Amino acid sequence: MVTTRSVTVPPRSGRAVRAAAGDLLQIIDLEGHQVGDLWLIDAKDHGRWLSTGHTRDRGERMFPAVGQPFRDRFGDPIAELAADDSPGKHDMLFPPCDRWLYESVGLHEHPNCYDNFVAAAATAGLDLPVVPDPVNVFQNSAPEPDGTLIVGTAASMPGDSITFKLLRDVIVVLTACSVDYWPTNDMNCTALRLRVGSLAG
């Protein structure tokens, strides 16, 4: 991958970048065990964003395999999974963590992915009527056989990555998950790197 842009997302924060159809989008876990919340919004029609529900429905999978698409809220492909150089544990069931979640466990004014999405999206000129559910890369929360959802520590190690091929011009928002009261991020929130580029040659 030839990198044209590289952005570090500090712990408990978010960043937004614009990327073009055909670009590769790579998310790297720099220190290991760190979840990232990813949103893709159509740059030309902000009413079209990546929908985890439509992706599961059309793909009939909990998470796409390499070469399979992620879909927008009208069911049209917006990106595809190009490569997964991680243990392969990701989530498309959970919403972003938010202030109300933290308040429910006694943590007030805690950084959260909901507010970090809103702030990062605003820097790209986005003001969506809702905060969509994200793709939670590296999140270790596969359903148990009895249907229970238990969020364990992210299995990703330092340098592990996941790569998407973009199928249209998009605004990318990535937040580094803020959960530090549960093992989600190994009780230690760290940074992620977002790279935009193209195939070598």
Q: CA-to-CA distance for 165 and 90, rounded, in angstroms? A: 17
Has residue 137 got a pLDDT over 70?
Answer: yes
Does the pTM exceed 0.85? yes
Q: What are the backbone dihedrals phi and psi of residue 59, each rounded to the nearest 5 degrees, phi first?
A: -85, -15
Alpha helix segments (H runs only) across the chain: 52-59, 99-104, 113-123
Has residue 1 got a pLDDT over 90?
Answer: no
Average per-residue pLDDT for the chain: 97
Q: CA-to-CA distance for 90 and 138, rounded, in angstroms? A: 5
DSSP classification of residue 31: S
pLDDT band at 146 (very low <50, low <70, confident <90, very high): very high
Domain borders along the chain are 2-198
Q: CA-to-CA distance for 189 and 140, rounded, in angstroms? A: 15
Beta bridge partners of 111: none
Has residue 201 got a pLDDT over 90?
Answer: no
| β-pairing verdict for 36-42 and 14-19 | unpaired
Q: Residue 91, CB half-sphere, CA atoms under 13 Å: how many? A: 26
From residue 23, give the alpha-carbon distance in Å to each of 1, 198, 200: 10, 5, 12
